[in-house]
């Protein structure tokens, strides 16, 4: 069960949450961490990972600042994780990759010394076989260890009629609740393009949720389980755009919370999630966190950071990367120490670690 706001506010550190540990956390411990973040005025960034290298980068950043972190896998990223040669016609590659990524994270995360949530990202209706496969893995893991493999999963049925979206989420939450899994769900649509899903042409009114939308989610899901978060739309768009092209209205989140308080009698009753966070201003992020956002997704910015690390390495060492033999030091000099993947992949990791730390700082997760 969730700790009360007063008890959470009285804690000096997230380490004081009962059951807190280094490594992957689930159930009440994970849920109380999100509640603690809301009570203390910070949010935890979630980073899309596609390889063990990107997982390591996220965990390294968390270890560097001694703060909790979220590793998440999209459907496309999951399929990539296990190898592009594996058929994904029936989402078998995505299932295998997500499960492998979760197991990998579970195995290595304790060594980094910080808590970590493992999450699956946007799952549209057409991707439900992927979700079902992950739930099966959760159930098998639960039978052995008494907790699910993943900490949380996201359903993104925002393209469907609102009642259908909430109804399907309720059906899945009933399956998840016995394992103490956290459900993240989306209402309204996050614009732009992400992981092959193109919402760039969506009607602008779909980019903004209403208090009534949020209340229907809460009133439907809360009788099943307290463990759900809401990615309510307030103009969010995936990707990075020129200033002025995206009109975020984080004050809508405040209206949702005020409406919820009038019905439930407590401050900021909703746990909210910020999607399409790449490229947002610091003030927009600060406002969103102050209105009860406990998690923010980051993908585009860390993709660029990972690439930029390699790009800068190539620019600095290009003379050593034109062939196996021959460089500015001599025609017979070997270049193996430069083109060894461990060298340039590490440069990408170092760059990504810096960007992960920056996101943590933006969200006051420091």
Tell me the catalytic residues: 121
Q: Taking a C-beta distance cutoff of 8 angstroms, is the pair 307, 56 a contact?
A: no
From 14, 22, 41, 60, select the one nearest 302 (Cα to Cα).
Answer: 60
Nearest to 38 by CA among 198, 306, 268: 268
Is 27 in contact with 142 (CB distance < 8 Å)?
A: no
Are the CB atoms for 123 and 76 separated by under 8 Å? no
Question: Three-state SS string across the chain, please?
Answer: CCCCHHHHHHCCCHHHCCCCCCEECCHHHHHHHHHHHHHHCCCEEEEECCCHHHHHHHHHHHHHHCCCEEEEECHHHHHHHHCCCCCCCCCHHHHHHHHHHHHHHHHHHHHHCCEEEEEECCCCHHHHHHHHHHHHHHHHHHHHHCCCCCCEEEECCCCCCHHHHHHHHHHHHHHHHHHCCEEEEEECCCEEEECCEEECCCCHHHHECCHHHHHHHHHHHCCCCCCEEEEECECCECCCCCCCCCCCCCHHHHHHHHHHHHHHCCCCCCCEEECCCCCCCHHHHHHHHHCCEEEEEECHHHHHHHHHHHHHHHHHHHHHCCCCEEECCEEEEECHHHHCHHHHHHHHHHHHHHHHHHHHHHCCCC
Side-chain-side CA neighbours of residue 338 (13 Å): 19
């Amino acid at each position: 069960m969730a700790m009360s706001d007063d008890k959470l506010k009285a804690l000096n550190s997230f380490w004081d949450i009962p059951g807190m540990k280094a490594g992957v956390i689930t159930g009440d411990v994970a849920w109380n961490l999100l509640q603690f973040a809301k009570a203390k005025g910070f949010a935890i960034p979630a980073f899309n990972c596609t390889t063990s290298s990107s997982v390591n980068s996220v965990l390294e950043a968390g270890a560097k600042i001694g703060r909790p972190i979220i590793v998440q896998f999209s459907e496309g990223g999951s399929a990539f994780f296990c190898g592009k040669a594996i058929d994904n016609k029936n989402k078998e590659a995505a299932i295998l990759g997500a499960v492998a990524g979760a197991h990998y994270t579970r195995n290595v995360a304790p060594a980094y010394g910080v808590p970590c949530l493992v999450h699956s990202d946007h799952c549209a209706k057409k991707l439900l076989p992927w979700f079902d496969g992950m739930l099966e893995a959760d159930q098998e893991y639960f039978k052995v260890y008494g907790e699910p493999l993943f900490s949380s999963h996201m359903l993104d049925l925002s393209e469907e009629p609102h009642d259908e979206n909430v109804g399907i989420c309720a059906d899945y939450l009933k399956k998840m609740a016995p394992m103490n899994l956290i459900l993240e769900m989306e209402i309204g649509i996050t614009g732009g393009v992400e992981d092959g899903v193109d919402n760039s042409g969506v009607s602008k009114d779909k980019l903004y949720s209403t208090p009534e939308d949020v209340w229907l989610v809460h009133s439907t899901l809360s009788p099943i389980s307290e463990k759900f978060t809401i990615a309510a739309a307030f103009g969010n768009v995936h990707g990075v755009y020129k200033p002025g092209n995206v009109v975020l209205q984080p004050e809508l989140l405040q209206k949702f919370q005020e409406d919820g308080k009038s019905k439930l009698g407590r401050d900021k009753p909703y746990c909210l999630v910020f999607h399409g966070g790449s490229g947002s201003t610091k003030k927009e992020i600060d406002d969103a966190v102050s209105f009860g956002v406990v998690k923010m997704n980051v993908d585009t910015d860390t993709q660029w950071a990972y690439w930029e690390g390699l790009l800068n390495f190539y620019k600095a060492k290009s003379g050593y990367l034109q062939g196996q033999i021959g460089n500015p030091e001599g025609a017979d000099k070997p270049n193996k120490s430069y083109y060894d993947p461990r060298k340039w992949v590490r440069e990408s990791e170092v760059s990504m670690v810096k960007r992960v730390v920056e996101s943590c700082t933006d969200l006051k997760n420091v």
